[in-house]
Structure 1
Amino acid sequence: MNRIVPIEPPIAHAAHRWVEETRTLHYDYAGRPLLSLIIPAGIVPYYRQFSNGNLQSNPFTQQVYLSLDKPATIKAVFRMSKEALNMRPHRAGKDQAILGQVGRPLLDSVNGLYDVLQDLLIDWHGAKWNWTGSSLKTDNEGGLQAELEVQGGLTPWIVNLRMQYYRTHLNFREHRPWEWRPKLQPISGWSSWEAFGQGVTAEDVERTTAFLDVHFKPYGLEYVQIDDGYQTEVIPPEEKGRLADAWLRTNERFPEGQEGIVGSIRERGFEAGIWTSAMVTSKAFAERHREAFEIGPDGELLYGQWIYYVLKGEEEALAKHVVPFYRGLGESGYRYFKTDQIRHYLFDGLHQLVNEGVMSNEEAAARLREYMRKAREAIGEQAYFLACWGVLTEAVGLVDACRIAGDSNPSWTAVCKQIVESARWFHTQRILYLNDPDYVCARTEEAWGRSLLSLVSLSGGLLMLSDNPELYDEGRVYTIQRCLPSLSTATGETGPLDVSYPLDLTLPSAETGIGAAAGDEQANRAYALLGLTADSREPHPTASLWSFHFDTPAGRWCVAGRFAVVPLQETELALEALALAPDVAYHAFDFWKQRYMGKVARAISMEELPLGHCQIIGLRRDTGRPQLVGSSRHVSMDAISVREECWEAEKWRLEVAGVRGTTESYWLAVPDGFRYEGGSAAGGTITGVQAMEDGILKADIRFDEADVSIVFDFENQILL
């Protein structure tokens, strides 16, 4: 295996050295500079000598501190690998938004950095500080650098270093990012399961891909995944056959076999995905191959719920029974693999042997991991690999995505669970793998679907639709298009798992879940679902408040999301809760209402939201000249269509990419003293420019080509 960094980062302290000529205190880690503290002349620094700042040895934490004999401003420079993030060193607290990020922004008051490739968490406390830049910058060696100023003094400024943080502090033991990283690209697609179930047919797939091709592929949908229903009913179908036969053969509903499925999907320009399971249902087959199956203390074949007969997670059994069907499916042209019931292989299968004292916990975990390793080797590193379901620490370092929530369906209980589990597990997003909240059933109540689609897209989750498209009306098609594709969002916070609210959000209710109740009963049941009471209402309970920060060639902005997992009251939300500077003015734009909300500072008014509804607000720092404040193309406003925005010589230019033949709207804030003089669009047509209230200009742009360059001329009357 090729290493990403030269050595495994040591679980050992960063060593200090003082350079008098530059008055700089350096800390070096893993053979390279990590932290430099520049002390002004005439100031006496006090700091720990040698390695006695190690708070604990396992997991390892080192505390660095710096005191000064009198107040002074010191400069701190952090140097990290090419994959690093500004990271809040704890999960969102009360009245704090859950933080996500696209790009490498440095966020106001977020007091931590995470070096992904070294699995090193850094956080600091004890003094006022501020960033000197807005983004992590590339240094001369190809790594990333962050710089801040600290108001030092006699009270120590404390820096904590937690080496191998996810691996040892959070106990994801298989996390070795210096050796292997998952694929981090966004995934958007469609799956057959919730649409057609086990009765899916080749005609269903062909009809659906034709619909997806027209309505969603131009907007970024890439994958079509066939789920349970294509394979033989008994796994495997013949006692004397191979386990691979169950998956490489298809049933009578797919007469052209796997090659026919892949061909029909690829013909429409999609990548083909396939579902498989770890279960073996044929007792006759298992009896015939007893040497490859786990045997219980009673001498009988080990049998587990959902998994049936349990294959041995050993080289010989896996090479004979598992590798061939993964390799065969890969050779058929599948590039996306979902392995289901793998949690049952461990928890309902192998753990029975642990309970009986036949096998150790370590052996059970190793066998599950070996199963996943053999599957990964068979499909190859280029294929996309999803483990399903349950967050499995044993799958870390082998899979690209992991399903973090239970089975989806159109009920509110299922939708709410997807939102809540996306929040609970967000600290793993694009650190360990891509988070999969399970399929999005957009056929649910329209507001619920809009909330879930918005969250999955903005948070960068694995976005797989799963409906019969005949159930999509014009409104649902429009909503899905606005949320495609999912983004490359990574977590902006970390910390131990919050276990203070329930894992399984189920209630004995009507088929439509909480939606069957009304009025106060509906609200009370929604609170009960999260383990709360109506008497403990908070402005932003669990999973309801998010803040996504963008740092792209198109600029810097934030998107705040409120999701009514319970009915949310009207409130004033402090900008600090979103990791925004409180003393700066921002333009606010409500995406789903397509309306400008004005300039805000310190706080923003948030509206009352009924259960299941959402509010998505874009926030851009006021520049004092004409600037983009909102768009209609994507819920991110707009990390998808906007390639570049610039202002030069009284001209505003926007480079955008879109879907040919469609029209999108872009909103500009035009301050007093600037007058619009006209515009042009290369590659497109300006179909309308409308002056709105509050100095807003709305421009409608038709995409005659996929790429359009818009130029608006302004007269700066202030300078005249």
Structure 2
Amino acid sequence: MKLKQAYPSGALEPPCAQANHFLDEKTNRLLYKYNGFTIISIDLPPGGKEYYRRISDGNIQSSPFIQQLYLAFDEPQSIRVRFELSGDALNMRPRRAEDGEAILGQCGRPTLYGANGLYDVLQDLLIEWHGAEWEWVYDRIQMTKEGNSFAEIDVEVGTTPWVINLRMQYYRKHLNYAYHKPWDWRPDLKPVAGWCSWEAYRSEIREEDVMDAAHFVGEHFKAYGLEYVQIDDGFQLPMVPPEATGIVADAWLTTNDKFPSGHAGLVSGIKAHGLQPGIWTNAVVTNSEFASSGTACIKDEEGNPIKGKWIQYVLDCSPETLAEHVAPYYRGLRDAGYTYFKTDAIRHLIYDGLHEAVKLGLIRGDEAEAKFRAFIECARGQIGTDAYLLSCWGVLSETVGLADACRVATDSNPSWPAIRMQLVETARWYHTHRILYLNDPDHVCVRAPQEWAKSAISLVSLTGGLLMISDKPEHYDDERINMIQRNLPPLTTVTAETGLLDMSMPAFAWTHIKGYAVDLHKADQKDEKRNEDYTESAKAALHPFTTLWAIHIQTVDRSWCVAGRFATEALQASALETVKLGLAPDREYAVFDFWKQEYLGRHTASIPCRELDVGSCQILAVHPINGRPMLIASSRHVSMDVISVQEEQWNHGELILKLKGVVGTSEDYWIFVPDHFALSGERTDGASTRITSEHETVRLTIHFDQEEAEVILTFMDQTQEDKRGNNSAVD
């Protein structure tokens, strides 16, 4: 999609060039301008003597371009600094989480305690600051009348320079995602949830299986946010292409005998349940006669077609080949009505196929990359910008700028090693999430042991990943149905941290770990020794990397943090420091455990947390207390709750909740009530209610008679009543 907003300078591509400084002597304001924006404004105190970097004096690295600015005074000064960026800017910690720290995500545009950076998405510009005490002026990034973003901080600057680093074209140049050009194109960043046939049925899938699944997920999950039914491997003809003289598209456009109604029947059947149809395709070529006789596949110097692992024969991806063999099946499947495309084996196309040709001296490395890119461009061009494109599998820089989502992990299944891989790879690649594309950790198999499944689906939902479930309908018992519903839809969470990968940490591929190889056809087997294998390694750190997350959620009227503890390794009982979650350590917080449905009390600098066995999780809502009754949790969604709570208002002793739910269902909402308040009345529209007092909370059970409901709770402030009583006594 094209940018909705042009930059003031009129130049779409932000330059790898310096921000120029200007000193406005009338206002005593130091300004730095870049790409048509005054990106930094610093109000200098009167009478002080300041030292700062000027113009090109601040370049510390030319490629990739980094500009360093600094400011110092002859004596300590308090200053206010304003950053103004494009309409899409985020608070970003300019480094990755370390052991003991939470991985940071954000839903909304909050400003996070200690997160010393701002990232301008549309300009691919990272600004970070170091060397002085500072704090945010506002709890969120603000918007100007012109539609630009701005944030302000107060900084204590002294004789030691306070440093600001500007990293122009940060993801494109500094992190080397060369095709990342957000000023030209942005992926579809909507939340995505669906059902995938692969791990449920594998290649044995039949038409009736798809229809049964569509009926089941439509009935149980559509109202909660599930959108797609995606058919995976098993519908196509067995040979690609079917005939030596045919085209590759024939294998994909004609279904096999297990799908007698063809694509038309599949699409109409899925849509009949109010769902969108998705389809799997593959870059593979398997017909040896086709590969040998035609010109579509790459041949060695002796004229024999080359082969690559998993990919078989390798399409040469020339414009002619793509136009004849690839474009027709993407266009044909789009015309058939599919709106979601999973393009598989493209990792093998480039690494095991085109790079094999490079090794043999048949093409150059840059030609291999160009050919691969041309394949993905062909797919995108034929399905259109309104269809959803998932590249599968592996983090492929070459798909940036074309794919809406990228699968960041290898194949998953219901075994613990596979689920652990999903958790670990989600953490490893989180700095790319909703910046380059949506991250997909592969489908969640909810038929796995319940605690494992709960961990996987909770993490995908909270982090805003691509959420596909993949089980037969008979595996969905009442508890698992409830678990799935609590996690739909996934959030629109964006990474709130960035930086280089830790390359000393191994990429987790469960199929290659000694002692963890499993039979894929018996992948639901339990790993009986999982605890003893991981307990020892967890003793070094209370929360090793991958185990602790902090998702900061902000709506128009609410702000809170969801802390997630995921036991990729056994976790000890511990005191979780709020500062490690990106929260101010001197505030008081009301804490609620989602899966336990339990209020854990008020805490400030640390939160006591229970021990977790390998594979289990703990999800905590951490709400800053504001001195009045306030909503702190719900049973509807693991976010507690950015989904069903449309609005929360406090107006002269009344807490007004506007809710949206599934008609005929009941949900619980917990209201924190300070000591000096007492519930004195309740009015409801669109629902029936039941109220239960629990410790410092009121549990509000809502039965939705209509999709939208309003609840008004009236509270009496005892301190105000006491004041009135004292005044009356005096009178």
1:372 and 2:376 aligned? yes
Residue of structure 2 in register with 1:677 after alignment: 680
Q: Distance in 2 between matches of 1:177 and 1:406?
A: 27
1:501 and 2:502 aligned? no
The CA deviation at 1:534 is: 3.0
Q: Distance in 2 between matches of 1:348 and 1:121?
A: 35
User: In the alignment, residue 259 of structure 2 is paired with which amino acid?
Assistant: F
1:395 and 2:403 aligned? no
Aligned length: 710
Residue of structure 2 in register with 1:88 after alignment: 93
The CA deviation at 1:141 is: 1.8
Q: Distance in 1 between matches of 2:50 and 2:81?
A: 14
Residue of structure 1 in register with 2:272 after alignment: 267
The CA deviation at 1:535 is: 7.7
User: In the alignment, residue 271 of structure 1 is paired with which amino acid?
Assistant: Q
Q: Distance in 1 between matches of 2:131 and 2:708?
A: 49
Aligned mate of 2:144, from 114, 139, 147:
139
The CA deviation at 1:292 is: 1.8
Q: Is the 8 A contact 1:554 1:642 kept in 2?
A: no
Q: Distance in 2 between matches of 1:348 and 1:303?
A: 8
User: In the alignment, residue 48 of structure 2 is paired with which amino acid?
Assistant: I
The CA deviation at 1:603 is: 0.5
1:112 and 2:117 aligned? yes
**Residues 169-214 of structure 1, C-alpha deviation per residue, up to 9 Å, x if partnerless?**
1100000001000000010000000011111111101111111111
The CA deviation at 1:508 is: 2.3
Unaligned runs of 5+ in 2: 722-731
* Secondary structure at 2:56 match in 1: coil
1:664 and 2:662 aligned? no
Aligned mate of 1:522, from 519, 530, 536:
530
The CA deviation at 1:569 is: 0.3
The CA deviation at 1:524 is: 4.5
Q: Distance in 2 between matches of 1:515 and 1:256?
A: 36
Residue of structure 2 in register with 1:570 after alignment: 573
**Residues 359-402 of structure 1, C-alpha deviation per residue, up to 9 Å, x if partnerless?**
22211111100000011000000000000001100000000000
Residue of structure 1 in register with 2:692 after alignment: 690
Q: Distance in 2 between matches of 1:52 and 1:523?
A: 56
1:252 and 2:254 aligned? no
**Residues 213-235 of structure 1, C-alpha deviation per residue, up to 9 Å, x if partnerless?**
11111111000000000000111
Task: Give 1:598-637 correspondences, 5 Å limit.
Answer: 598-637=601-640
Q: Residues 133 and 3 of structure 1: is their aligned pair in 2 closer, same or farther, counting only changes over 3 Å?
A: closer
Residue of structure 2 in register with 1:548 after alignment: 551
* Secondary structure at 1:317 match in 2: helix
Q: Residues 535 and 112 of structure 1: is their aligned pair in 2 closer, same or farther, counting only changes over 3 Å?
A: closer
Q: Is the 8 A contact 1:558 1:618 kept in 2?
A: yes
Residue of structure 2 in register with 1:450 after alignment: 454
Moved over 6 A (4+): 512-515
User: In the alignment, residue 682 of structure 1 is paired with which amino acid?
Assistant: D
Q: Distance in 2 between matches of 1:553 and 1:681?
A: 22
* Secondary structure at 2:370 match in 1: helix
User: In the alignment, residue 351 of structure 2 is paired with which amino acid?
Assistant: F
Residue of structure 2 in register with 1:336 after alignment: 340
Bigger shift: residues 210-219 or 410-419: 210-219
Q: Distance in 1 between matches of 2:321 and 2:365?
A: 20
Q: Is the 8 A contact 1:507 1:513 kept in 2?
A: no
* Secondary structure at 1:66 match in 2: strand
* Secondary structure at 2:57 match in 1: coil
1:200 and 2:202 aligned? no
The CA deviation at 1:331 is: 0.3
Q: Is the 8 A contact 1:553 1:643 kept in 2?
A: no
Q: Is the 8 A contact 1:102 1:488 kept in 2?
A: yes
* Secondary structure at 1:719 match in 2: helix
Bigger shift: residues 38-47 or 592-601: 38-47
Q: Is the 8 A contact 2:40 2:83 kept in 1?
A: yes
1:180 and 2:185 aligned? yes
Residue of structure 2 in register with 1:530 after alignment: none
Unaligned runs of 5+ in 1: 528-532
Q: Percent identity?
A: 49
Q: Distance in 2 between matches of 1:417 and 1:652?
A: 43
Q: Distance in 1 between matches of 2:464 and 2:558?
A: 19
Provide the alpha-carbon RMSD of the alignment: 1.4
Residue of structure 2 in register with 1:29 after alignment: 34
1:126 and 2:131 aligned? yes
Residue of structure 2 in register with 1:358 after alignment: 362
Bigger shift: residues 219-228 or 292-301: 292-301
Q: Distance in 2 between matches of 1:669 and 1:429?
A: 33
Residue of structure 2 in register with 1:474 after alignment: 478
Task: Give 1:50-449 correspondences, 5 Å limit.
Answer: 50-289=55-294, 291-449=295-453
The CA deviation at 1:304 is: 1.0
Residue of structure 2 in register with 1:38 after alignment: 43
Q: Is the 8 A contact 1:413 1:513 kept in 2?
A: no
Q: Residues 554 and 272 of structure 1: is their aligned pair in 2 closer, same or farther, counting only changes over 3 Å?
A: farther
Q: Is the 8 A contact 1:413 1:514 kept in 2?
A: no
The CA deviation at 1:598 is: 0.5
Q: Distance in 1 between matches of 2:104 and 2:139?
A: 16
**Residues 90-131 of structure 1, C-alpha deviation per residue, up to 9 Å, x if partnerless?**
000121100000010000110000000111111000000000
* Secondary structure at 2:55 match in 1: coil
User: In the alignment, residue 221 of structure 1 is paired with which amino acid?
Assistant: L
User: In the alignment, residue 284 of structure 2 is paired with which amino acid?
Assistant: M
Q: Distance in 1 between matches of 2:241 and 2:255?
A: 12
Q: Residues 7 and 584 of structure 1: is their aligned pair in 2 closer, same or farther, counting only changes over 3 Å?
A: same
Q: Is the 8 A contact 2:537 2:569 kept in 1?
A: no
Aligned mate of 1:651, from 654, 657, 664:
654
User: In the alignment, residue 200 of structure 1 is paired with which amino acid?
Assistant: I
TM-score (norm 1): 0.97
* Secondary structure at 1:322 match in 2: helix
User: In the alignment, residue 692 of structure 1 is paired with which amino acid?
Assistant: E
Q: Is the 8 A contact 2:2 2:184 kept in 1?
A: yes
Q: Is the 8 A contact 2:538 2:569 kept in 1?
A: no
Bigger shift: residues 205-214 or 382-391: 205-214
User: In the alignment, residue 584 of structure 1 is paired with which amino acid?
Assistant: R
The CA deviation at 1:72 is: 1.0
Q: Is the 8 A contact 2:90 2:119 kept in 1?
A: yes
Q: Residues 72 and 514 of structure 1: is their aligned pair in 2 closer, same or farther, counting only changes over 3 Å?
A: farther
TM-score (norm 2): 0.95
Q: Distance in 2 between matches of 1:38 and 1:134?
A: 21
Q: Distance in 1 between matches of 2:330 and 2:700?
A: 51
**Residues 135-182 of structure 1, C-alpha deviation per residue, up to 9 Å, x if partnerless?**
001112211000000001111110000010111111000000010000
Q: Is the 8 A contact 1:575 1:581 kept in 2?
A: yes
* Secondary structure at 2:94 match in 1: coil
* Secondary structure at 2:191 match in 1: coil
Q: Residues 461 and 190 of structure 1: is their aligned pair in 2 closer, same or farther, counting only changes over 3 Å?
A: same
Q: Is the 8 A contact 1:524 1:534 kept in 2?
A: no
Q: Distance in 1 between matches of 2:254 and 2:581?
A: 52
Q: Is the 8 A contact 1:515 1:522 kept in 2?
A: no
